[in-house]
Structure 1
């Protein structure tokens, strides 16, 4: 069950000839969407570019009302079968409460992105029970691995996603089934207690982040723990925590040591180094859908 108690809604998988939209709900784009349009077209899809892909308002892709209208247009357009967020950055939290997501209830469609888009994922999953895709965004396509882009195609077209990861000595073994929730750690903390927050109980939590100080990661995870959000998880998947920084006086713990110290009193499986986040090999995950996690001594298996 998703976080609001409704049955999980899986949007219709794409087929060749479907229309997909690219919109930019956060930071403005520094490059045109040429690579993304070529890739999506090669998959047999028709690409519609939102007004926000060429817009600029300070650091944003248009002001809040402008970005809202662009996203709203594609939510309400029944011919659009998936909405792909062009990039993250910052800005989604400024406009999420201006959007009417009600059209997704009758006509669910995929929403794709990561980083700042975590807020949209969480809001849609929590309030409407509709699955979303955590995966590569158009801005990142020029630097993305071919495999990560292939996992996005597979997720959109309904092909089986199954990941087998090498053993990690930091892992905690075990098996779990549960709805997958999460995304960017900073955003999951930012939405805590809001209308976009999710119920963590019985869920498998995935987290990633970029450019944070080790002490800040420790603080954010402890915020989630103190809020009771980590105690009743079914499982925990740690993705890419890239470009981590330390102070002149070292914090004294690595990322795995921070995580395992915080969850040491719990007994669910913990998997490190899942290839998703601010990395070139940002493999796709379907949030809001039930996932199987099997952390073994010699490997970890994750599939839907």
Structure 2
């Protein structure tokens, strides 16, 4: 597959904000101010103020809003304003073909994993897993700076402390992944990923421990974890347990599922549903070094 890297942003570029999933709780004033401080012109979609049950407008409106910005050649990046739930309801109703010729960055995380996997599996298009307008007010300065650098083509890397369950080693591969629940949800569809020789990133929020176990084993049974180049685990936050405890932490569950393989595994990557949600460039080749005291990763 040919990998497509969208053009990096420059001052004066137009970027769009749209809501393909859950409706917004309030205006995205802070996010708009930040993007404008980077020299960008912000265009707001109809979904930014729309409401239909829990969604940012009905499925037809949300699909049309996203498609509008995909087709608009003056828009150089599309920010999903928030996640929640709903992107999978519209993914097959959106015409993504124009993005192949006039490529542009898609930014978001959580439910937006559906967009990340779809544009990469179908078009080979790189995209950015990072802070969204709804999370920008609570984001760390470091996470927002990695987002800016990713969008404007500046170099950045990751360096974080080791965890006891890490499996040491070095790997090189294209970075893919996202929210574990959504990776399981798109499995077997046109939006599914080819995991072989990739470095996989996973994160999740609000899940029961037993369901993390089930989703990991679902991916394993589908053959998706066997031939990875490496595994990077981000935040698994706000987790729940049953009255009868599951008996393992999320990290222990994940390692137990992949313990028979020999690729490097690292935990504690600063990405996911956390304030320090540092940007990841999906579809870009990453060098990963999991060492005894720390883990480092950089793009090539």
Alpha-carbon distance in 2 for matches of 1:259, 1:30: 33
SS of the aligned residue for 1:108 comes to: coil
Shift of 1:9: 0.8
SS at match of 1:27: coil
Q: Tell me by how many angstroms 1:264 deviates.
A: 1.2
Q: CA deviation at 1:268?
A: 0.2
C-alpha distance in structure 2 between counterparts of 1:291 and 1:172, whole Å: 17
In structure 2, the residue matched to 1:3 is none
Instruction: Report whether the alignment pairs 1:26 with 2:21.
Output: yes
Give CA deviations for 1:202-243 in whole Å, capped at 9, x if unaligned.
101000000111111001000000110000000000000001
Partner of 1:211: 206
In the alignment, what sits opposite 2:95? 100
Matches within 5 A, 1:62-77: 62-77=57-72
Deviation at 1:141, TM superposition (A): 1.1
Match of 2:154 in 1: 159
**CA apart distance, 1:166:** 1.2
Question: Any residues of structure 2 matched to 1:14-163 within 5 Å, and which?
Answer: 14-163=9-158
Find the counterpart in structure 2 of residue 192 from structure 1. Answer: 187
User: What CA distance in whole angstroms lies between the structure 1 residues aligned with 2:118 and 2:181?
Assistant: 15
In structure 2, what is the equivalent of residue 250 of structure 1? 245
Displacement after TM superposition at 1:170 (Å): 1.3
Superposed CA deviations along residues 75-107 of structure 1, whole A, max 9, x for unmatched, are 001000000000000100110000111111111
The corresponding residue for 1:269 is: 264
Distance 1:98 1:111 in 2: 17
- RMSD over aligned CA atoms reads 0.7
Q: CA deviation at 1:253?
A: 1.1
Residue 283 (1) aligns with residue 291 (2): no
| 1:250 positional shift | 1.0
Distance 1:168 1:261 in 2: 15
Query: What is the DSSP-based 3-state SS (H/G/I as helix, E as strand, rest coil) of the residue aligned with 1:224?
Result: helix
For residue 146 of structure 1, report the CA deviation from its aligned partner.
1.2
Distance in 2 (alpha carbons) for counterparts of 1:167 and 1:57: 44
Q: Structure 2: which 5+ residue stretches go unaligned?
A: none
- TM-score (norm. length: structure 2): 0.99
| 1:176 partner SS | strand
* SS at structure 1 position matched to 2:295: strand
Residue 168 (structure 1) aligned with residue 149 (structure 2):
no
Question: Shift of the alpha carbon at 1:261?
Answer: 1.1
Report if aligned partners of 2:161, 2:268 keep a CA contact under 8 Å in 1: no
Matches within 5 A, 1:213-232: 213-232=208-227
Distance in 2, Cα, partners of 1:255 & 1:139: 26
Segments of 4+ in structure 1 off by > 3 A? none
TM-score, length-scaled by structure 1: 0.97
In 2, Cα distance between equivalents of 1:167 and 1:256: 13
**Who is 2:296 aligned against?**
301
> Shift of residue 34 of structure 1?
0.8
Cα distance in 2, alignment partners of residues 138 and 262 from structure 1: 34
Unmatched 5+ stretches in structure 1: 1-5
Deviation at 1:248, TM superposition (A): 1.3
